[in-house]
Chains A and B, each alone.
Chain A
């Protein structure tokens, strides 16, 4: 089953390019640990999900690119074409000239209705190319005008028009110290709308990914390209094919379905996050060795201590001995904070994966390193 990606605004389009690039490069990576037959099966599964075939053999990303001004889309299209290995459809873009001015209202109430037909037509065309649709993956930022406002509008329309298809929105949480002054307005407006119309919200925080680039990837001068590549790597590990019950050579067909089924048990709780381990630069890989036991231990501690990366983990945090405290006595005190989650999915990829012991997490063997989120609003007294 296929996923149709909708890339919105500068952020959405820049990330989208890195995601498709990562997915393609991963599935066409030479060498590796597997047999040729295994590699081909993996490639075919990835292709089915994310790329369609064009006449001259160059795979075309199953994506629709939308922006209210031209520059970013032109750049994205040419970067993809230049790689020579995959590309975007020539007619899969929609742009205008005036931008959204960081104004959510422009995106939602002006550009949305005005261009609804054109955008939905483009999406329809892409959907028709799929033999079977798993759902939509919508990439957008919350701070700007197009991604946030138009993204909210498009998601709503997707809900109306494709009520049986799943929708996952990938939202970028802006930097705490501000990149857009009105980002707080735009973000709250976006979240409130998406909560009603989307099926799952996968969140990436700029601050967190920035730290990963600084501390783990050892990048001195971090650019948005670096940040997007780390993001794409994390998304790739979520969306690339995983084994079905039959095991080797057979991959699961419905990626979005799997994620939702495991991670969104109740429609009110739909915010998701990703944790990836190990995360490091190519250079450091040569000097590292890993074991499943070690990785899983770190990952679990990252989860329960609410750490976003494998450095600086607080090992003092332990689960309370007698299980969860009764509701009335929930401590808001951060020191004893043990992260409780509603659902978790761990995905394991690599050598001897069947030997990995996921222990007392009663999870299925192929699960995602993501866990379910609760939103915690601190209300100040007085």
Chain B
């Protein structure tokens, strides 16, 4: 079981990160009753004796003294980071410097070439508050293409839709009986005192939950473990095609709404419905290159197999990977649930998102609007833009080629058999 370092960049990254650390502490607190610094908690936290200055303060075993997050907070201006460092989680972060961006990815790749780089990136939605976001996105995409091992794209619109649906369920009279105003999934009552609800908090909590579920099988025990490096090994068939569509169920805590627990099988169906995806895309009508199901809680292999058999016919898999499923079972469910499922799909349905990004970029770039602000910075030239957009075009072309194979008949090669 590995240890991971979380790098939070910019306002968005840091706000999400804040939610993440809050939830992570809560999750470990629920499992770790004795306050012992164990392997699970060491995946994200160091145990430090704050009375000792410097490296001597690190304690690797025994009771939890003071936990420090394995995190690096980066921003170009102090506001957000300062707020975090003054808030209830201040003792969880060491003070660090400021400054970089997706440049960081390249730096990490050069310095630590063998360490996998997972990126959750927030893609701009249709109505965006930043006019030059197409430029920023395309330039960032180039870095993601080249230096990230795996990217989980998320868009704000999907998160917003999910929150709206939860609110709708909460407020509608249909469910009857007592309902609590705040879902555990969308807000954190936190380990510490309840802090003021900030805008985007509910949405950020969903992303934080995604990160927790992604690493759960690496941190906690289960009958079929899956580490982060296995995600990359199984879900990235070609280095360029490393964009995974994620979907999470359930999205609200059963404790909060008084409805009978949904059947287990329903959870699997939900994971393949558009309502539960963190990015707007249509995987069912596109081609799956690979799919991973990470289950938490009291779910066994027979449940998993049964649901795979059930859902498979409605999904189209690429010709060379007809049985492409990676599965994992973790015994520890998330706080407040009896079981949960995270589905990660490498699917050609991400193509429209990229095409859309490229269109918006071209609209701006054709007129060279706002370009001079970028070009006046040393090191930045027009060629950066053209290279970035051609890198994206190449990626789109790869997806096109795969899509072209979609309706071709699949050769039915028999499986290697043992005649007994």
Residues of A near any B CB (own CB < 8 A): 10, 14, 69-72, 74-75, 97-99, 101-103, 145, 173, 175-182, 188, 203, 205, 210, 213-214, 219-225, 227, 271, 273, 275, 306, 308, 339, 341, 371, 373-378, 380
**Contact A376-B417, Cβ < 8 Å, known A14-B223, A179-B224:** yes
Closest to B417 in A: A376
A223 to B230, CA, bound (A): 22
A-side interface mostly? loop
B327 part of interface (Cβ distance < 8 Å): yes
A214 to B302, CA, bound (A): 9
Contact A71 B225 (CB under 8 A): yes
List 8 A-B pairs, minimum CB-CB distance, nearest first. Answer: A101-B229, A222-B302, A223-B300, A178-B323, A376-B419, A181-B234, A224-B223, A178-B325
Contact B303 A101 (CB under 8 A): no
> Which of B10-18, B80-88, B388-396, B408-416 is found at the contact surface with chain A?
B408-416
Residues of B near any A CB (own CB < 8 A): 1-3, 39, 221, 223-225, 227, 229-230, 232-235, 290, 300-303, 305, 308-309, 312, 321, 323-327, 329, 413-420
A339 to B420, CA, bound (A): 7
Set of chain B residues within 8 Å of A377, measured between Cβ atoms: 416-417
Contact B229 A339 (CB under 8 A): no
Contact A177 B312 (CB under 8 A): yes
Closest to A374 in B: B419
Known: A176-B415, A375-B417. 14 other contacts (CB 8 A): A74-B39, A145-B230, A178-B327, A181-B290, A221-B302, A224-B223, A224-B301, A373-B418, A375-B418, A376-B417, A376-B419, A377-B417, A378-B417, A380-B414
Contact A71 B39 (CB under 8 A): yes
Set of chain A residues within 8 Å of B415, measured between Cβ atoms: 176
Contact B418 A203 (CB under 8 A): yes
Query: In angstroms, how far is the closest chain B Cβ from the Cβ of A152?
Result: 17
Total inter-chain residue pairs, C-beta < 8 Å: 125
A219 to B227, CA, bound (A): 29
Contact B302 A177 (CB under 8 A): no
A14 to B303, CA, bound (A): 20
**Contact A102-B2, Cβ < 8 Å, known A72-B225, A75-B221, A339-B420:** no
A377 to B415, CA, bound (A): 9
Instruction: Name the contact of B326 in the complex, choosing from A103, A179, A223 (C-beta under 8 A).
Output: A179
Question: Which of A69, A97, A176, A180 has the most chain B CB atoms inside 10 A of its CB?
Answer: A180
A376 to B326, CA, bound (A): 27
Contact A177 B233 (CB under 8 A): no
Chain A to chain B contacts (Cβ below 8 Å), 24 pairs: A70-B1, A70-B39, A71-B39, A97-B3, A98-B2, A99-B2, A101-B229, A103-B233, A177-B309, A179-B325, A214-B302, A222-B302, A223-B301, A223-B302, A224-B223, A224-B224, A273-B418, A273-B420, A339-B420, A373-B418, A373-B420, A374-B419, A375-B417, A376-B417
Set of chain A residues within 8 Å of B324, measured between Cβ atoms: 178, 181
Set of chain B residues within 8 Å of A210, measured between Cβ atoms: 301-302, 305
